[in-house]
Amino acid sequence: MKTAMRAKDAERLGTIRLLLAACKQREVDERIELDDAAVVAIIDKLVKQRKDSIAAFDAAGRADLVAKETAEKAVLEAYLPQRMTAEEIGTQVAALVAELGASTPADMGKVMGAAKARFAGKADMGMISAAVKAALAP
């Protein structure tokens, strides 16, 4: 935050303040001290919100707001740990499906529960869901 202030980077500073406010809000609401996993979850949530906003603004033809949300998303993604690639996700999900003995689309809930625990903060859950659907498809 101090670096963004010194560089007079208003967009980055605003996004960092937004992130810190979201973390502080969660700490106050739940009366807890956030650990790294909780902070990563908050960042994931904010990135997802930005993606949804970008899609909505793009559909409405608001290029100015799309650019603003894209810049915020890029700043937030810089604070996330290295994400798994689609290939890594595919192989990990296939191993998880084999490990759990899942074979039909009805087993998706069981696989997604285990996947959420295993891949939290390491991969986009939308990509995980798509990989699970593909692995369980008949």
Domains of the chain by range and CATH? Answer: 2-77 (1.10.1510.10), 86-136 (1.10.10.410)
On the question of pLDDT at 137 being above 90, the answer is no
pTM over 0.85: no
What is the predicted pLDDT for the residue at 122? 87
Q: 72-124, pLDDT tens digit by residue?
A: 999 999 999 898 999 999 999 999 999 999 888 899 999 999 999 898 888 88
* 138 has pLDDT over 80: no
Instruction: Answer yes or no: is pLDDT of 31 > 80.
Output: yes
- Sign of the Cα torsion 24, 25, 31, 37 reads negative
39, 48, 57 from 80: Cα distances, Å:
9, 13, 24
